[in-house]
A and B are shown apart, each in its own frame.
Chain A
Amino acid sequence: MRRSFVNNNIKPNEFYALIRITVEMSKYLYPYIREILKSKEDPEENSVIWDDFNKRFIELIKERFNIESMRVKKLLNQAENDEIIIKSLLTLSFCISNQGYQKLKNFLYDF
C-alpha cells in the first residue's frame, strides 16, 4: 500500500516498537482524538473538526500511499472511509492506559 519500491518486511522488534510509539502518541493526543470522534456524533452540529481531519488524512494518504491500489482508493473515498477512520480512532482511544501497549497488540493481531 505504501508508495515505495523497496519491499522491506518489518521485523518483530520494529513492529513492537512502533506499537509503543503509537500508544504513547495516542495518550498525548487523546483530547484531540476525542474531539474528532465527538464532532461526528451529532449530525446537526457543525463538524468542522471532522472535515479538517478528513481533509488532512486524505492529503497524507495521497502523499505517502500508492493511490493506484484499490485498498488505498477505498481510503480516499470520503463516502466509504468514515467507518475505517472512526474504528481506527476508537482503537487508539481504547489503548491509552498503562497496559494500552498490550491492548493495541491484541487488536492488531486480530485484524
Chain B
Amino acid sequence: MQNKLSFHQSSVSLEIIGLPDYSNNENNDQISIISQWKLTIIDKPLIEGKIEHLWPIMNAFYIYSNLLIKNEIPLIESKLIDIKADNLHIHNIVLKSSKPNVKPLILKIGNSLLSDTINCFDQLNESPKVRIKKPDLHNNIPKKLRFGLNNKVKFFNFIIPPFIAICSLILFSSSFIYFNNPFENIEKKELINPE
C-alpha cells in the first residue's frame, strides 16, 4: 500500500506517492521512496512524472523565481523544462517529455500561479514526512550571495584586526624617520670624499 501526501496552495496542488523505508524503521505515514508525483494547476493540464523529473523541475522553478526578482534575464533552458517570461506578468513553461515522439507541453502561467507553485514546492521541501535525499536546491543562490550571507560578519571580524595592526605599524614606524638624520649622512660622505 503506497502513501500519498498532498501539498496545497490556492490553485495549485502537489501530490507525492511513495513508500517509507522500512529498513530504517520509518513510520508508516512517511515517504522515502517516491514512485510518482502529480502537479495540478487549475485550468491547466496535469503534470506528472517520476522522481528523477521532480528535482530538476523544482530546481528550474527556484532558479527562475530568483532571476525574476533579481532583475536578471528570466530564462531557464534544460533537457526537461524551459521557462521564460512573456512579459512582467505571464511566464511561458515548456515541459519536454523523456519519451520519444511526444510533443512538449506548453503552459502559460501568471505570477499568482507561479507563486502558488513555488509555495507547494516549499511545503514539500519542509515536510517532515518526506525523508528523501534532495539535491542541493540552494545552488540557485549565487556564490557571491552565499558568501555574503554566511560570512559577512565573520569577514569583517577577520579583516579588521590585521587592518588595524598594519595601520598602527605604519604609524609607529613613521616616527622612526626622526631618528634618521639625512644631513649627518651627507657630512660623513663629505669627510670620506673631501672633493
Show the binding face of A for B, using Cβ within 8 Å.
12, 31, 33-35, 37-38, 40-42, 82-83, 86-87, 89-91, 93-94, 96-100, 105-107, 109-110
- B141 interfacial by beta-carbon distance below 8 Å: yes
Show the binding face of B for A, using Cβ within 8 Å.
10, 65, 68-71, 88-90, 110-112, 114-116, 118-119, 122-123, 125-126, 141-142, 145, 148-149, 152-153
Across the interface, name the chain A residue whose C-beta is closest to B108: A41
Across the interface, name the chain A residue whose C-beta is closest to B148: A109
Please give, as numbers and ranges, the residues of chain B lying within 8 Å of A100 by CB-CB distance.
Answer: 122
| Residue in A12, A96, A97 whose Cβ sees the most chain B Cβ within 10 Å | A97
A42 to B115, CA, bound (A): 17
Partner among A94, A97, A98, A105 whose Cβ is within 8 Å of the Cβ of B149: A105
A87 and B10 within 8 A (CB): no
Tell me the dominant secondary structure on chain B's binding face.
helix
Q: 28 A-B pairs, CB-CB below 8 angstroms? A: A33-B115, A34-B112, A38-B110, A40-B89, A40-B111, A41-B110, A41-B111, A42-B110, A83-B88, A86-B89, A87-B68, A87-B69, A90-B69, A93-B115, A93-B119, A94-B69, A94-B115, A94-B119, A97-B119, A97-B123, A98-B126, A99-B125, A100-B122, A105-B149, A106-B145, A106-B149, A107-B69, A110-B141
Please give, as numbers and ranges, the residues of chain A lying within 8 Å of B149 by CB-CB distance.
Answer: 105-106, 109
How far in angstroms is the closest Cβ of chain B from A107? Answer: 6
Partner among B126, B145, B152, B153 whose Cβ is within 8 Å of the Cβ of A97: B126
Please give, as numbers and ranges, the residues of chain A lying within 8 Å of B125 by CB-CB distance.
Answer: 97, 99
A90 to B64, CA, bound (A): 12
A14 to B81, CA, bound (A): 41
Please give, as numbers and ranges, the residues of chain A lying within 8 Å of B126 by CB-CB distance.
Answer: 97-99
